[in-house]
Structure 1
Amino acid sequence: MSTPLIALTMGDGSGVGPEVIVGALLAPEPAGFCRPVVIGDAGRLRQAAAVLGVSARIETVGGVADAVFEPGRINVIDPGLLPADLPWGEVSAVAGNAAYEYVRLAGSLAMSGEVQAICTAPLNKEALHAAGHVFPGHTELLAHLTGTEEVSMMLSTAKVKVIHVTTHIGLIDAVARIEPGLVERTIRRGAAAMRGSGLERPKIGVCGINPHAGENGLFGYGEEEEKIVPALDRLRAEGMDVHGPLPADTAFFLAGRGDYDLIVAMYHDQGHGPVKILGLEAGVNITVGLPVIRTSVDHGTAFDIAGKGLADPGSMLEALRQAAELSQARTS
């Protein structure tokens, strides 16, 4: 059986995306589990190779079918959207528009079946908005491009997996948006993703909203009972192994020692903080609920180190590996 084809988007060309892509694709591991084709700018990738001090054959191809997979070669579908003198580490509407177009093209390739998964390098939200593409991030952009009404963000590490009920909105708005239907749908998406990775009956821990999950009404205004408990009652009635609402601080500790297979976080920082503590190279971002497979590095464009040869490709390697595993599980 051939390894899956993966569309690897370059992200914002002013950030570390080009460097982590070159670093990851020159490593020996990816050739064993996938066939990546970069959607990005060949010239920028050559500049990234130069700052990394490595030798790479970066070849433009007309389409996925034209890609040749050999050691040291990086195949690139290049729409020609970036100037050669694009600065590193600066917000650019031109780079933001290019990042959008790379994702749009990758989405089209995935929806048509020409690739089995999408893996994304980071884009910059300010640059994306400056280019007129007003999306909070990849998750929402890919939902729009694929015509998907609702998706969830899952962060995956070797120690803990976290799915988010809300993501790129302010904390006050997040609490207002949380309601039993959204909580239930998020948990169902998370359970389906875990089954897709081979775990038939995952044990799921669900965080509360308030400190100590409300401490039986002592903290907050009964949000746990109103917004979370009804969803958990319905899922438990179906036989799902769901626990909570749990105090978030102890939930992640318990998951880290293996008590839970998946943690459900109510808002962005509740889920991201514990994962980021494990190290930026440890996490992978997976969009759950799309008709296509999408994984990503779990770090941003890192403008402060872009173009300096300092970026760690570890998260990109792991994102490629998980994209390959998910695509093979889906077709098996």
Structure 2
Amino acid sequence: MRYESVLALGVLMASVMAETASSTTKTCYSMNGQVLDSVYQPCNPDAEFSACCALNGTSGQNDVCMDSGLCMSTSGWYSTFLYANGCTDPTGKAKACPQACSFMPTGYSFSVLQCNANNGSFCCRAGGDETNCCNDTASSFQADVTIGQILLPGTNETVNTTYSTVIQNPSKDNTAVVGGVLGGVLGAALIASLLALWYILRSRRSLKHNYISLQNERDTALQQGASEKAALQHQIEQQQLQYQQFQHQQMQAPTYSPGSGQYHTYFAPSPALPMQPYPTEVSSIPRPVEMDAMRGMSELSDETAHREVERIEEKPKRTD
């Protein structure tokens, strides 16, 4: 957790230092005396001479000033790396200027790696060099384990926090990079893990809520279906009962009473199955041919009888 604490505190103070540095008019020079751009600002603009770090860059990527004149990067892959960027003294000989790599040949900037915390072994390499300098005795030096403390913005006061990025027994060129960014990677991994855990918990709560909603909808649909089924079953039973009553009425034959000339038993119309009125005309019903022949003979007999009666009535009476 020490890496995360140093990084978080450093970012906070770097942002404050950036605001303080923006009001200064002092010029920053690289380690070989070249004028640096406006990204680099004095760590203590009120002092006669001050080390310069990247304090006017993109938010969240500004350096953290150390009391040794070195700068601790907070930018991505190079987070927690130490650099000697320059000073307001163009000669770089002032006490406030970074002196850790003064034995090195002239260079624009230097990167300082801690090789072994047990014996205080460090090494210097060019700012843009990513090779492991711990194996190079010409660029190595001995120093206290505490190579620098965080410098409060605009002052000479420090925070009691040691820098302890260590490269143990380096054997490959990329071990320097791995050791330098170990703290930043662990911090980023921790933050990413917490974010992933929060997202998973939120997703689980959302899935649980959706599952409960689906269960409620299913129960409601089942209840509604059961109610509709019961209503339909009741309707079918009523129709079956009415149909049975209708069949029972159909089986009751009407009886005729000669005295009253009416049917004693008749069909009562059902409210569910209303009966159609009986047809009053049967002209549309085909009749057998025999009925027509019999009717013809009957009509012929009636006509002959009628004529015979008329003939008898018209016969004159005899007079004696």
Fold match (TM-score > 0.5): no
> Larger radius of gyration, structure 1 or 2?
2
TM-score interval, normalised by the smaller of the two chains: under 0.3
| Higher relative contact order, chain-length normalized (CA < 8 Å, sep 6+) | 1
The two structures have a TM-score, normalised by structure 1, of 0.23
